[in-house]
Structures are given as structure tokens and as C-alpha cells.
Structure 1
Amino acid sequence: MNGDVYAKVVSVEGEKLPWTIKEKSKNIFRLDLEVPYQFTSKAKPGMFCAFKPASGEHVQRRPFSIVEARKDVVSFIVKDVGPNTHYYTHLSRGSIINITQPRGKEIEIDEKKKNYILVAGGIGAAALVYIARKLRLLNKNVTVLLGGKNYKEIVGYNYFWDLGCDVKTIVEEEAFATGLVTDLLKSELFSGIREEVISCGPIQMMNAVHDLC
């Protein structure tokens, strides 16, 4: 199981938007793929898979964070922003797609620590869903801070909420709270209740988080 895997599409569905009952995103999708069990047993929080390009015009594989891995299904959140991601997010059930084995380094958890803050900007939230799931299984207190340009760019809200995380959001352009996700982090750090901060998002955001911590 060292080579690539030909995975079968189980479902492709638009992500439900935050604070809505039925409205779904038109450019952010959950992609479920059927893979061998040996594959999912290797998948750990923090890892990703690289998808084969849609056509010969593109050489580089596209990396996507693993959101969930269970038995023979692995899940990803994919944002439709170009030819390749458009192809991935419009595959029909039963289609076959070539992906790599899980890559990257597992995010290690210090089980002695009780409180965690997860900070994400935009699609970066996809990389934190799996770790949030593991933290909650370990009965950790998890606060999730999500930022985006507008509420339709907030990714993963429902995953974190369903896991029992304390989810807080902020956007740059509209809605109830306007600002940067690092503004939320400042407030959390000021409260003094934190032990570990894990973040994923644009480089500028990651640098700002590093400076705050």
C-alpha cells in the first residue's frame, strides 16, 4: 500500500452554510471517497492526500486535508476555485479518482493538557476538523475560532458545532462581528484560559497567530 490509490466517489455535496437550516454553499463541498481499510488506518489528524490533476495540462497534484477517515471512507472539504477543484467537486457517484496515500505528520496531542484553541482562516479550517474530533474524543475543551471574508467563506462551522466545540466566528466584510480571526484569538488569550493553540490558514494569519502566542 505504498503507491497511489484509485478511490471511488461515494458522494459530493455542498457544505451547509453556517446558521442556516438548508442553504448550501455553491463553491465549498464535502467529498467522500471509498478506499481500502488499510488506507484509512494510516490516516491521522494533520495528514493530507494529494489528488491527481484533472488533465494533462497540470502536472502538480493538489493536496487536501483529511477531514475524517472511517472504515473504508475518507472525507475531504474542497473549495471550487479553479479547473482542478471544479473537476473534483463535480464528480458523480461511482467515479474513480487517483489519490496518494495519507501524507504529512500527525498532529500530536499532549493528553495532560485540557484546553485547546483551534484557529482557522477560510478553507484552512478543513485541516482542523480531524484534530478537533480526536480532541473531543479525549474529552478536551475545544474552542474553535473561524474567520473569513464573509459568512459564506466560513468553513467547517457545522462539523465543529456537532462535535461539541465552542465555536466563534468573525468576518471581514459583513455579519454580526467584523474583523480578523486574530481579534478573536486576542480575546481568548486575554481571558487566560488556554494551554494549546493550533492554527491553519493563510501565511499572514499564521504569522500573526505565532506572534500572539
Structure 2
Amino acid sequence: MQYQRLACNDNGLKLISFAIEKKMKTMSTHFKKKNICKGTWVILDRNKTNQIDHVLIQEKYAKMIANMRTCRRADANSNHLLEVQNQSREEINRRTTLRIRMLQTATEENQKSYQHQMKKVKQIRKNYTKKKREQLENKYKNKEIRNFYKEIKNIKKGYQSRPTHYRDKVGNLIGDETEKLKRFLEYFKEMLSKRAKEYEE
């Protein structure tokens, strides 16, 4: 782990041991990058990042990866500072549904529907940003300094996205909260049973 962001914790050391044992390279730390491009997870309530996601590859295939960096946005389909009313939230939920449909069945019709919905959501974001800017200007003009700086702080902190969908064993996307919890439980049971078998052997 040549260019890791910070000192390793126990999990990092376990990952290094695993990579050495399996003759693998950690490509996510192989290339020299600025710290801002290294973080993969935003710590809640703090404007700090940790590097907890890594890409490992067999040494013989390492040359296939020419470069690697972290996407600095929350998600390709989300935006920072997004706070919307119920009507806008419905449009965003519809975009998510259309995205899942497009990923599962990549037809031209599904792609067009998704792109059209993306434009609608972008317009919502544009209107929201304009409205927010006007509100800030009014607060500054009315000398509501405390509220003004409070809003600025919230904007600087930004929107912190979490993964909203996961895949089942077959590869289908799961959006329902109950189904996601079931999948997590299933996954960890499998991991623990594998570990138990390895130790027994």
C-alpha cells in the first residue's frame, strides 16, 4: 500500500497480510495522488474522508490498470446540497426506479426514459440552487448574520450520500430496505461459515 492516505488500522494490516499471502497488489494505493483524491468514504457530521475501499488484483494482471482515482462527488446520479420538497422527492424516486429498470434491461426506450427524467431532476436542482442563493442574499441584506453563516456552514458540509441499492446473488438490484437487510444477513452468514470452514481445515 504505497500511497495510502493515513496510517493503517487493524483492518488495513489484515488487508496487507491477505494481499501478500495471495500475491496481490493494492491498486487503489499504487498510484501517487493528492489526498483529496484518496478518500472513499465521508465521515458523518465531519468534513473528513477515510480510505476504506480498495481494489486488489493479482500481481501478474497489475499492468492492466494504468491509473485509478476516487470520484469526488457523492455519486454519479446524486448531487450535493440537494434538499427538496415532496413533489421533487417523487421525481428523484422516479429517476432511481428508471435507472434500475435501465440497468436491468438496457433497451433504447428505457435509456430515453431515464435521460428524460435526469433532465427533469437537473432542472429541479437548478431551481433549488437559484432559490437557495436568493434566500442567502435576503438573509445577508436583512442582517440575519447568524442564520446566514449557519446556512453557509450547511452548504459547505454538503450532501452526504449513502448507497441506496445493492445486488442479490443473481445480480438483480435490491431497493427495498427489508430485502437489503436480508441480503446483508445472508452475506455475513456466508462469510462467517467460510471462515469457520477454513479454520477447521
User: For this structure pair, what is the TM-score category when the shorter chain's length is used for normalisation?
Assistant: under 0.3
Higher relative contact order (CA 8 A, sep 6+): 1
Name the one with the larger helix percent: 2
Q: Structure 1 length as normaliser, TM-score?
A: 0.24
Structure whose alpha-carbon radius of gyration is higher: 2
Q: Structure 2 length as normaliser, TM-score?
A: 0.25
Name the one with the larger strand percent: 1
